[in-house]
Amino acid sequence: QVQLQESGPGLVKPSQTLSLTCAVSGASISSPNYYWIWVRQHPGRGLDWVGFIYYSGSAYYSPSLKSRAAISVDTSRNQFSLKLSYVTVADTAVYYCVTGEMGNYGGHWGPGTLVTVSS
């Protein structure tokens, strides 16, 4: 059973970098069978895809983030991470880490973590 758990600061100041980690259990972060995804949800709003990374290291991001996002994997810790630079209050959201079979829908979600951007 694949399980995911997000962690990271709940409060980030404007213009700083938001950094979140997703710990993975029940699957290897190095497996070619999965890809690793971040989704966010602004308070009271719908779901927004942030980006994903394949086991090869190729990553793809939402154009709306204008190159501020970076997703990476840490094979030694079996986890993957999201960094979002130059945050503004508009980046306040619940961030979910997700995984699914390669190129497929996301069947496994973490519980989500709220990140608030505020001075």
Partner 1 sequence: DIQMTQSPSSLSASVGDRVTISCRASQSISSWLAWYQQKPGKAPKVLIYKASDLESGVSSRFSGSGSGTEFTLTISSLQPDDFATYYCLQYNNRWTFGQGTKVEVK
List residues binding partner 1 (CB under 8 A): 37, 39, 46-49, 52, 60, 62-63, 96, 103-107, 109-112
**HSE-CB of 50 using CA atoms within 13 angstroms:** 25
Q: Which residues pair with 59 in a beta bridge?
A: 53
Residue with Cβ nearer partner 1 (79 or 95): 95
Q: How far is the CB of 96 from partner 1 (least distance, A)?
A: 6
Residue with Cβ nearer partner 1 (34 or 52): 52
Q: How far is the CB of 31 from partner 1 (least distance, A)?
A: 18
CA atoms of 69 and 48, how far apart (whole Å): 13
What lies within 8 Å, CB to CB, of 7 at 6+ separation is 20, 21, 22, 23, 113
Q: How far is the CB of 64 from partner 1 (least distance, A)?
A: 9
Residue with Cβ nearer partner 1 (61 or 79): 61
3-state secondary structure of 81: strand
3-state secondary structure of 5: strand
Residue with Cβ nearer partner 1 (55 or 60): 60
